[in-house]
Structure 1
Amino acid sequence: MSRRSLLRRFQEFSDALSKEQPPGEDPAVGVGLVQGWEAWLRVDASFMDGIAGTNLKLYLRVRSGGHDYEGLSYVSQIETPFFLLELANLRKIDVDIKNKAAWIQAGATINKVYYRIYQKTRVHGYLAGLYTTLGIGGHITGGAYGSMMRKFGLGVDNVVDAKIVKAKGILLDRKAMG
């Protein structure tokens, strides 16, 4: 795949992710996947290969909305070009009180997670911190430190499933990872 076609396809993918989601529709699946693109990501591994830097030396950084005080997602100390994949519009939150669980997309901010749980129940909560503008994707991958971790552990300790796309385009979830 040429660098030009890779850049064009990445732009299409990025545009699809950045579209505002219409109310009542769920165009996103799991963490960073858009319906219709999931199969393409799994089949066209050369695209993910190129983005991951193994073919064309193009690097990908993912930002899940929220803040990034250190600038790690958009500043580079080396002069290597990179793409920034912003997941802020992937922010659907489904709360299941019966099973005491929630499915949260990577771009949802902690304040929205707190609010969505509060709308459903006044006795349950979520293990997160005080920085409510943080995107949940970054919060979880950083361990999810919070004020209740001494009693309940880190937020990441309470994650029961996640959908992750590896660099080769392979989709992983709890079942696939064992």
Structure 2
Amino acid sequence: MTEQILQLQNSLEAIRNRYKNLNKKIDIIRSHVESNTMFKSKSITDILKELTEFSKLQNICAENYKALFNEELPEDATLDNIESKIQEYNSEVLKKETGAIIDKFKNLHSDVSDCQSSIDKFAAQLEGIESSKMALEEYKEAVADYIKFYSCVESNDTDERINFSLEETVFSEDSGLLLNLIQGMISIS
């Protein structure tokens, strides 16, 4: 989904840039109409080329919109309306991802009480990340360590766990938790 959002945002940006060129061509048309002068054939060719390029970009935007939202781009849509819809969509995706990541982390369990206390502490820190104030990519970056930690518990690969414990992460200061991770003392309930 993130790729589709990016494609739609890129097509909107390309249209914004193309509007500037199109506006210049409209000024040329307006100038000729107001002065009742003939168009140079190069001017006509340039205007038609610009309109063709604009039409292509608009079609790409419509395709990207449909791919993301599974509906046709409204004919009266403005770039601002589309960007608002993207932001709303991003918020919904972020809420779902936030809940899923927190739920996964809360499913971690250890019979070692100190370890469980650490898991609970990090789960609370994870919940404290204010996803509503972040873009989707920022949030993913903020929770990347938690996702990786969960993945290490899930995989049962000792080498992966050791390598993770050597990385600089939000868990680096909690050597007891990392030791329990390496020893396989953390499970998913």
Report the TM range for the smaller structure's normalisation: under 0.3
TM-score, scaled to structure 2: 0.22
Q: Which has the larger strand fraction?
A: 1
Q: Which has the larger helix fraction?
A: 2
TM-score, scaled to structure 1: 0.23
